[in-house]
Amino acid sequence: MPEYSSQFDLAVISTKSNDSKIQLWGRCITGESIFLEIGGLEPYLEITYSTEQVPSDINVKLDKVKRRDDVVEVIELGEKWTEYGVKEMWRVMMKSSKHQDRSSFRKENINDWLFYNADFNHDKRLFYDLDIGTHIRINCQVIDDHRYPVDIYAKTDIHNLNNITPFQAPFVIASFDLETSILDNRILCAAVIIDQLDTSGQRKEIAKEYTFSGTEIEIMKGMTNLIRDKNPDIITGYNIDNFDIPRLKERLEYLTKENDTKTRSELFGWSRRAHENEWDMIPYRARNSKKWTVVGRCFIDAWWEARMVLRPKRETLSYVSQLLFPKRRDLRKLEIDTSKIDEEWEKRPDEVLEYCKRDALLPWEILDELRVIPKKESLAAVSKTSLDVVINGTTSNWIDSLVIRLADRNNVAVPMTKRYDRSDQIAGGYVHEVEPGVYPWVAVLDFKSMYPSIMINNNICRTTMIDDKNTQLPCNESPDGIKYLQKSQREGLVPKLLLDLMSQRDFHKKEMKNALSNGEKSKQIFHDGMQYAVKILMNSFYGVFASTFYRFTHKNIGSSITAWARYNITEIIRQLEEENQNVVYSDTDSIFVSVPMKITAPTKRPNTELGAKKFDEAKTELVKFGKELAERFTEDAAELEFETGLSAFFSHGAKKRYVGRMIWPKEEMIIRGYETRRSDSFTLLTNTMKSIFEYILDGNQESAIKEVITLIKEVKKGNANVEDLVISRSCKAFDRYANPDGLPFVQAAKKRRDDHGLEFTPGMKVAYVVTKSSGSNQVVEPWLVEDGGEPVDTYDIDYYSKRLAKALGRITEAFGWSENELLTGTRQTTLFSF
């Protein structure tokens, strides 16, 4: 018996299965990287007969399975719930954990058996069967063998892993950038930044910088040695998934022979493997996938993370950096002309290296600023899985992690993922019509976690759904006629998980408040991150269960959730309208109600003492009304909250587009849907719109219209600042469009690439200015200032004045000023005359 005398607390980065062993890579709380081989978890899948009743020749069939070469033994499990009723199940212990071996077993036995717990990678069983999460304590035997690029190489078995309270692991981060030749794609130089987090999720020290130049082989070997030496858990960079990693791979193919595994490993063996002949020593990606994988580490693309969090108008590294770090002057000047990089590298290599170093550091600074890594780790902890599942996996993988382990413990058979046919979509949320105009004093109420609450309160789950419409069992029946067993009969897996997540969230919120009052800043941030991760995960359940492919879903589930949602909200609207209350707007889980104000008060707090007093009285009235309404309509089935008090609400009459002056709980203008929120609008329009919303909410329509008319006059004269007219939209690969040449952003992307020698990455935003729109087609010029280019110096006067008039005219039309009247600046029948 080996002695497992060493003990480590660690966060799991990733796992893999290798024969009957599970391989696990992690980072210890004390800072070391660790690689573990875990024994004792044999691969298996589960089977039951495909007929309704137990077939008479069941023993013959079982023997046939037992005698197979790929089967070790067959274990009787007893009864489990399946979607076809309760059935006897057997566990088939298999020799191989390989996906293709399991798949051929299934193929060869498809006539006799149904398969369960059969279609996910074996290493996931470590989490499900041992019920462990991201942060674990292990007892192990440290092996004196330094082949693996980690600080600790150890062995253990499944009896030596235990859950511990989540913490923030001191992950090591590498961030890199390449400069490559435009002439021949060669790598000219590279820079790598190495840094580490501390256990409060902060950066530990000043990052260390490394640069590489010389021959391509020297550069690639140098980087690989550094990666294996400094041993980062996370490798980042800007747009690395689309550019840097594929370029390194390309150069590897160019520089080495396919069978020269030794050299290939020396050049690009970034994985945490020991042997140069492992097939996954080199980063790789699945067929048809954009996502790169490196065994034992994680790639995170700073571009993608910044895009998701910030939704920036433009997506170049320089634009995003200036957005996040506006005070940093060193980001403003772009010393290197990347469109002439070969020449620059020839003439002033030192400056190019400095530039490369800066572009290696920035992606890490972006991730740090957005707290990307602590957020991923919190989400991993809440979904009880490895870091890489959260980084590289899908929403359904997170849900799997919680659902499968619970199913296993409740004798629910875990079905394989299958695709449901759903040619017609399920119906979604209810959206109320909104009449154009300004509404003073509006209370906004909304249902707290609406879809999760509906799932909990009606016990909605695949395991509680009853097909028999005439069942006599006590059920909750959805408005669209689907029946779910009541909790007293059988508690659904999903409702149980959601309830548990709700109480977890309450716990972290409480801890967060405690930490705040004790002045424990990092503890407060930690619990805030955890409660937020719980929220994200809870809100993911509906989407996965309403999808057409998840293993535990059914088309009825999604449709009954939304049916209940529509019923709940429209029932409240109906009751309010019956009482002659004015429901101004409603979308899915929210209701906007006019407050029956007894006093007349200005909607903006005046400076005069008397006016201010009136305003405050009205605000008190608003809050009272909102709270009473929330209380009145809150039932055990659904908690309605008074979320926001508005002194004024405006919409021009389109759903999902409104503005409001929030005065409770805090003071702020809220804008939804309008161009102001859209990343494909231009600054002149969004700024003007924001400004006129301020006027409109204050009841000053005259100033709003004056501003628009003045602006359009100036734009017509050609006085607009071209930078404020830049439009930016994302652009896919050109062949993905039915008629690419008809699209202005495709034109811009092509000009960017062909006329200016710059990269175009499919999926990224392209910025442009419309310079001519005579005839049917627009003529556009790409905007390349963030790429080191010159600004466009002209714009199409008619196009921009018309677009402004159209977008702003929709709004001013509510006060009688149409698009054409804004363009001419005059009106026949005047409300105001200018």
Interface with DNA in residues 294-313 (CB under 7 A): 311
Query: Which of positions 752-771 make contact with DNA (CB under 7 A)?
Result: 765
Binding mask 441-480 for DNA (x = CB under 7 A): -----x----------------------------------
Which of 630/807 has CB closer to DNA?
A: 807
Q: Where do the H-state alpha helices sit in 634-660?
A: none
Q: Is 732 in the site for DNA (CB under 7 A)?
A: yes
Which of 264/652 has CB closer to DNA?
A: 652
**653 three-class SS:** coil
Rg of the chain's alpha carbons, rounded to an integer? 31
Residue type present at position 399: I
Enumerate residues 6+ apart whose C-beta is below 8 A from 554: 83, 420, 462, 465
Q: Is 273 in the site for DNA (CB under 7 A)?
A: no
Span near DNA by CB under 7 A; candidates 175-183, 325-333, 457-465, 724-732: 724-732
Residue type present at position 411: N
Task: Kindly tell me which residue out of 338, 540, 560, 688 binds DNA, with binding defined by CB under 7 A.
Answer: 540
Which of 546/663 has CB closer to DNA?
A: 546
Residue 302 C-beta: closest distance to DNA, Å: 19
How many angstroms separate the CA atoms of 93 and 70, rounded?
9
How many angstroms separate the CA atoms of 221 and 219, rounded?
6
Q: Is 744 in the site for DNA (CB under 7 A)?
A: yes
Q: Is 729 in the site for DNA (CB under 7 A)?
A: yes
Q: Is 743 in the site for DNA (CB under 7 A)?
A: yes
Which of 230/810 has CB closer to DNA?
A: 810
Span near DNA by CB under 7 A; candidates 142-150, 197-205, 456-464, 800-808: 800-808
The dihedral built from the CA positions of residue 47, 50, 54 and 60, taken in this order, carries a sign that is negative
Residue 458, classified by CB atoms within 10 Å of its CB into exposed (0-12), middle (13-18) or buried (19+), is buried
Span near DNA by CB under 7 A; candidates 76-84, 545-553, 782-790, 820-828: 545-553
Query: Which of positions 49-68 make contact with DNA (CB under 7 A)?
Result: none
Residue 269 C-beta: closest distance to DNA, Å: 19
Residue 352 C-beta: closest distance to DNA, Å: 32
Q: Is 554 in the site for DNA (CB under 7 A)?
A: no
Task: Kindly tell me which residue out of 257, 419, 469, 666 binds DNA, with binding defined by CB under 7 A.
Answer: 419
Q: Is 431 in the site for DNA (CB under 7 A)?
A: yes
Q: Is 774 in the site for DNA (CB under 7 A)?
A: no
Which pair of structure tokens corresponds to residue 49? 């007969």
Which of 730/771 has CB closer to DNA?
A: 730
Residue 564 C-beta: closest distance to DNA, Å: 14
Q: Is 286 in the site for DNA (CB under 7 A)?
A: yes
- Write a three-state SS string for 119-143: CCCCCHHHHHHHCCCCEEEEEEEEC
Residue 729 C-beta: closest distance to DNA, Å: 4
**291 three-class SS:** coil
Which of 309/671 has CB closer to DNA?
A: 671
Q: Determine if the peptide bond prior to 149 is cis (ω within 30°).
A: no
Q: Is 677 in the site for DNA (CB under 7 A)?
A: yes
- Which parts of 32-186 are beta strand (E)? 33-39, 44-49, 71-82, 85-94, 113-116, 135-142, 152-157, 161-163, 172-180
Half-sphere exposure of 709 (CA within 13 A, CB side): 19
Residue 113 C-beta: closest distance to DNA, Å: 20
Q: Is 395 in the site for DNA (CB under 7 A)?
A: yes
End-to-end CA distance of the chain: give it in Å, rounded: 94
Q: Is 587 in the site for DNA (CB under 7 A)?
A: yes
Q: Is 549 in the site for DNA (CB under 7 A)?
A: yes
- Which parts of 222-378 are beta strand (E)? 234-237, 284-285, 292-293, 298-301
How many angstroms separate the CA atoms of 332 and 735, rounded?
35
Task: Kindly tell me which residue out of 275, 328, 672, 717 binds DNA, with binding defined by CB under 7 A.
Answer: 672
Q: Is 738 in the site for DNA (CB under 7 A)?
A: yes
Task: Kindly tell me which residue out of 376, 505, 810, 827 binds DNA, with binding defined by CB under 7 A.
Answer: 810
Give, for 24, the enclosing helix (H) or strand (E). Answer: strand 21-28
- Cβ(337)–Cβ(355) under 8 Å? no
Which of 118/317 has CB closer to DNA?
A: 118
Binding mask 311-330 for DNA (x = CB under 7 A): x-------------------
Task: Kindly tell me which residue out of 680, 714, 754, 755 binds DNA, with binding defined by CB under 7 A.
Answer: 680
Q: Is 673 in the site for DNA (CB under 7 A)?
A: yes
Q: Strand 33-39 relative to strand 152-157: parallel, antiparallel, unpaired?
A: parallel
Task: Kindly tell me which residue out of 548, 570, 683, 771 binds DNA, with binding defined by CB under 7 A.
Answer: 548
Residue 347 C-beta: closest distance to DNA, Å: 37
| Short-list 287, 264, 292, 295, CA closest to 277 | 264
Binding mask 70-109 for DNA (x = CB under 7 A): ----------------------------------------
- Cβ(648)–Cβ(697) under 8 Å? yes
Q: In 10 A of CB 742, how many CB atoms?
A: 12
Binding mask 106-125 for DNA (x = CB under 7 A): -------------xxx----
Query: Which of positions 372-391 make contact with DNA (CB under 7 A)?
Result: 388
Enumerate residues 6+ apart whose C-beta is below 8 A from 738: none
How many angstroms separate the CA atoms of 17 and 723, rounded?
54
Task: Give the DSSP letter of residue 776.
Answer: S
Residue 549 C-beta: closest distance to DNA, Å: 4
Sheet strands side by side (includes 465-466): 465-466, 483-485, 475-477
Span near DNA by CB under 7 A; candidates 267-275, 420-428, 482-490, 702-710: 420-428
Q: Is 392 in the site for DNA (CB under 7 A)?
A: yes
Task: Give the DSSP letter of residue 414.
Answer: -
How many angstroms separate the CA atoms of 441 and 433, rounded?
19
